[in-house]
Structures are given as structure tokens and as C-alpha cells.
Amino acid sequence: MSQDTDRDIFDVEGMTCASCALRIERILSKQDGVDEAVVNFAGQEARAVVQPGTDVAGLQAAIQKIGYNIHPLADGEERETPVARYAKEVQYQKRNVLLAAAFTLPLMVISMLGPDTQAAKVWQLVLSTPVVFVFGSQFHITAIKRLRGLDATMDTLISVGSLAAWGYSVWALFNDQPVYFETAAMIITLILLGRYFEARAKGNASQAVTKLLELGAKEARVLRDGEAVMVDPVDLRPGEIVVVLPGEKIPTDGVIVAGRSSIDESMLTGESISVDRQVGDDVFGATINQQGRLEIEVTRVGPNTALAQIVRLVEEAQASKAPVQKLADRIASVFVPVVISIAIVVFFGWLIATGEISTAVSNGVAVLIIACPCALGLATPTAIMVGSGRGAELGVLFKGAEVFERSRTIDTVVFDKTGTLTRGAMTLSDVITDEDEARFLYLVASVEAASAHPIGKGVALGAEERGVELGTPDEVAAVAGRGIAGSINGVDVVVGKAKLMADQGLHISDRYLDALEAVERQGKTGFLAGWEGEVRGTLAVADTVRATSRQTVTTLHSLDTETVMLTGDNRRTADAIATQVGIDTVLAEVLPGDKAEEVARLQATGKTVAFVGDGINDAPALTRADLGMAVGTGTDVAIEAGDIVLMSGDPALAATALRLGRSTFRTIKQNLFWAFFYNSAAIPLAAAGLLNPMIAAAAMAFSSVSVVTNSLRLRKFE
């Protein structure tokens, strides 16, 4: 257990439906030291915010009291992988259904084709008893445990229904009445068959996380004592040097210290095009070295790697609840007691109306079985599991189930320009000056080199490419959103927008103002530089528009979504870029600190806003937006400000995120409609005597499988 208030993870045993999860969640949340708890039925886990010093044994005892078991994961303890967990469940359910069928099939033959004799009825008793009490024991044990906690679940309905049919048949056997042993056995067998298919489907739904877990390298070549030795990647430590040959997977996150190569980073970014990496560049575990020999210094291992963070984000999203699930939970919590009450009324109603106890038992049992709310419990979590998993495969990480629901209301998408709609790699394109160009660039670029801003980097790189050797400024001060000032070799240099020049008292000649206007009309970012009271020249950097930007905007327009570009660039440059990509609205010359205010202004006009930014400078805007999409590069996949992490800078992922979010929520609504419609329509039919218990059992199993199958369609989302 962690020793802070981070969310602790518990494995949960014994859950069979959504009402089980809701019951555990309710009890766990009431315990001293637990601030919050969320229990996920599909994932068979609980995530709780537990205060330091809380008696975990007490929490376990409270949950055991209501018939379940929870196991907290200790620090460093690895949870059983989804594939292993579901494989066990599939094998368990497969064994049960095969053994149950081995008894049920001859039982059905005897009941349907055999003679109506006392001996035949005894054989039916013999064959049905192990099915009901051995292979169906999981339902009865669970029902008894829930009864101790004054609770009822789906298993309660199955247990009461099968025992009622079997118990009545025993009475009928000794009173020369028709028996329903085959009904009791067939109920259990069909439900077990449904459980088996459901387990297989849930296993398929978790494939995305499984695939991610399998991406990692199985071994690493590490230099120890001057020799290369093969070790398990889990044994690597920060600071060690690993050697990766062409065609091999990089075993963990690190930085290249020798060599250069082309790296396939598609598992991180979703982009199939390889990227070139050289000395000093970061690389990430599970990516593939395609060409040269690399020596890499290990920087992050285990849970700190990019891959581990991706898996964690996906698992957390799958374990969370969408707001729409709350309605399903409330219904499930009262559904079972209501159904039992309806079944009792149906039983006595038919008994009074017909005087036939067999008919009353049959119709009452049919109500119990047909009403099992399993499909209701699977409707939301299975769609979230598949949707978030598919998103991870495409390079889109959803940080919670509620994000899917929010995505459907977005009507405005705001893009930060630099690094999102454009590549963000500024290059020096124009230098207009009457000064000696080499000295001019030396002074300007030396000051700009001290800035981490893309423009500063572009100027510095451009000067070096022109053969200018840069110096080290004595002091540098950035002016947010306007430029930079610094001193080098006794010269106080100011670089930035015209307003900064005016504020610093530098005179601007018409020549340089005209040059500034000319480069800005070309869609370039222009600025001025000067010293000693005079602007000495105009410079421009160019940032090329991403190839997918225009198609992204077109896709968003097809979703009835307005597009906005928010930038600190001047109006002319911003308008030129917006025209190229088809942006509806331009908000230019916005200071970094004012981006959140601009988002708020849009919201004040009734817009529901998604903001796409880099997650660092744009953190306030990402937080303020109704939906924040943080652009990551694999180094910062856990950006806290965003609701969605886009694993590459490709703006197309923003459109993909919205489409997938809406498609997932649409699937949730379809699942919930089917679950509600099914129970609403089927209970009256069973009460009216139009469904026998066996048909009801088959229909109940089908409803659960159909909901999961509908969710699995999201795996084909493109």
C-alpha cells in the first residue's frame, strides 16, 4: 500500500454483476480513512483514496462481511495481467459449462423423449442434482453471502429460480405431479454458457492493454565491466549503458550516447513513419531500432517508462466510471428486490387464477431468470474498455470514462498554432538589415540562443548555419509574449515585437516596418531587433503547416464543430496560416497567460470548448477548457492538465479523439437502451406466462453477450 493519498488498487474477488460492484463501492466508501472509492465490475478491481495509517485489514473485513474479498497491492507488487486473469476465468467457466452439459443433455433427452414413469423422474432427479448444487454452487454461495449482508444480486435471482424449480420438482416427484428438473438444470447450464462467452468477450475487450504489455523487449544487452551481457529489462538501472542492434527493440527509456538510427515509434505515437535519432536524443522502451547500432544511457525503468505510463493511463480510464453509469448503478441496486417482489406476485397470481402450482412456479421462475440485470452492468464498462484500448492503439489516451461522455457535447475546438497546426520547428528565413549581417546576427542570435522559445532556437540555428559563431550574453530577460532583451559584449540588445521596441524607447524606421509587414503577409513570423536607441533590422522565421492540418479542420467541420486558432503571433501571420488550413476564427496576439481567458470568453458565449495545446505553456487553457487535449511526444504522457493525451503532434489525433469519444458514448447508449428495453419487454412476457424458464435463461445469456459484442465493434474503429 502506498503511504500517501494516491489511489490504491485492490483486486476484488466474488463480483458477478454491476450491483455487486455498487455494493462494494458503497461499503468501502463508508469506511474510516477512505476518501473515495470506485469499483469496476469489468476490471474486477477497486481503486480507492486511502489515508495514511488506515487499517487495511479492517477494510478487508468490512468487505468480507458482505460476501466479497479484496486484496490490496503492496508497493512494487505487480497485478496479474488482464490476459492471465481472463484466461483463468475462461478456463473455469468452460470446465463448468462442459460438465454441466454432460448431465443436462441426457436429462433433456429423458424428459422430452423418455417414458413418463416414476423411474424416469428419479433419473431426472439424479442427473439434475449435481448440475444445480455442484456446478451451480457459485450462484447459491454468492446468494447466501449477499443475504447475510441484506443484499441481493443477479446471482440471487438465478439461485432462487433454479432452487424453486428443483425444489418444486422434488415435491412433485412424491406427489405424482409433473416435474421440472430439466428446467432447473437447463437454467444453470445456459447461464454458465453465457458466463463462458461473456468471459471470452471481456478478454477480447482487454486486448489493447494486453498488447501494450506485450510490446516491451524481453531482454536487454547491457555493458557491465566492459562486456555486453544479456539481462531482463527489469534488472536495468538508471545510468547503465545498453547496446541496441538494428532490428532490436529498445529495452527501456534512455538517451543516445553513441550512434544514430531511424526509430519506429509507432507504438507510442500511432504514426507509421520512422524518425531519425542521434546522440543526445531521447528514445523510449519498446520502440524499434531500424538501422544503426546504438548505445543508450538508461534514464527511466519500470513504472516510470513511457510505455508503463501509457498502460497506467489506459487501465485507469478503463477502471473509471462515466456519469451515465450512475443511472445504471442506481437502477441495478433496486432492481433485484423489485424483481423478486414481482416474481412472488406472479407466483401467487397464477396460483390463485389457475390453482396449478406447477404453472405458478414456472412463470415465477421465468420472471426471476429473465430479469437478471447482467447486461445492464456490462453496458458501460465494456464499451469504455474497448474504446480506451483502441484509442491507445491509435495514439490517443483518454484519462477517464467521463471524457467519452464530454466529447459528445464539444462544438468548438481551439488549437494552439505553433507545434500543433504547424510543425513548431522554426527556421530563419529572412534577415533585412543595413548593418553588417554577420555582426547583426551575432548579437541577435547570441541573445536568442539563451531562450527556450522555438523562435529563439530557430534564429540561433539559422545564424550558425550561416557560419556565425555565437557568444554568451551577460544577462538575458524574456518579456512574455513580446520578445527578449539581453546584453552581450557591452551592447544591450532588444529582440521582439514592435510594441516591445516602443516600450524600450527604440526608434523604428519605415524601412523595417515595411519589411516586417511584407514577411508577415507571407505567413512568416516577423520581428525586430535593435540597440542603442535604434531598430537595426527585421528578421523572420517560418514554421511550415503540418500536412494533416487542413484535413483535420475539414473533419472537425464535418462533425459540426467550429475551429479556432489561438496564437501569440501577429494578426497577418495568423490569418495567413488560418487561410491555409481552413480555420474559422483567429485569435491573434494573445499572451501566454491570457489563453485561458480567451477560452473562458468562448465558453461565456455558450460554446463547449476543447483546447489542443502542448500541455506546458498551455496548461491553464487546457484546464479551463471543457475538454483539454494535451500534445505529448512520449516524454510527458501523464500531462495532468489535459483530459486526453495525443501521443504525437499530428493534429489529426484531435479529430480522432473526438470521433472515438463520440462513437464510444454512442455505443454506451446503445448498450443501455438494449439492456433497459430487454428487461422492460421481457418481464411482462414472463409474467404473462409467454416465456418458460429455459427460454428465459437462454435469452438472459444472449442479452449479456450481445451487449459485449456490440462494444467489441469499437475495435474496428479507424
- Nearest in space to 644 (alpha carbons), one of 595, 653, 212: 653
Query: What span, in angstroms and rounded, lies between the C-alpha atoms of 700 and 621?
Result: 47
Query: What span, in angstroms and rounded, lies between the C-alpha atoms of 712 and 693?
Result: 29
Query: What span, in angstroms and rounded, lies between the C-alpha atoms of 126 and 23?
Result: 37
Q: What is the CA radius of gyration of the chain?
A: 33
- CB of 255 within 8 A of CB of 280? yes
Which of the 8 DSSP states describes residue 134?
A: I
Sign of CA dihedral 397, 402, 405, 406: negative
- CB of 255 within 8 A of CB of 296? yes
What residues have CB less than 8 Å from 121, skipping those under 6 apart?
173, 179, 181
Query: Angle, to 10 degrees, between the axis of helix 510-521 and the axis of helix 571-581?
Result: 10
Query: What span, in angstroms and rounded, lies between the C-alpha atoms of 476 and 449?
Result: 10
The owner of cell 426471476 is 368
Residue 464 belongs to what H/E stretch? helix 454-465
User: Which region holds residue 489: left if phi is over 0, alpha if psi is between -120 and 50, else beta?
Assistant: left
Residue 229 belongs to what H/E stretch? strand 227-231
- CB of 240 within 8 A of CB of 301? no
Put the strands of the sheet holding 69-72 in their side by side order.
Answer: 34-40, 45-50, 7-13, 69-72
- Name the amino acid, one letter, at 388: S
- Nearest in space to 508 (alpha carbons), one of 523, 529, 477, 485: 529
- CB of 523 within 8 A of CB of 422? no
Q: Where are the alpha helices (DSSP H) in 640-689?
A: 652-687
Beta bridge mates, 415: 565, 612
Residue 344 belongs to what H/E stretch? helix 323-354
The owner of cell 512494487 is 76
Query: Angle, to 10 degrees, between the axis of helix 652-687 and the axis of helix 357-370?
Result: 170
Active-site residue, selected from the candidate residues 8, 155, 416, 614: 416
- Nearest in space to 516 (alpha carbons), one of 533, 532, 530: 530
The owner of cell 495532468 is 640
In the annotation, is 416 catalytic? yes
What are the catalytic residues?
416
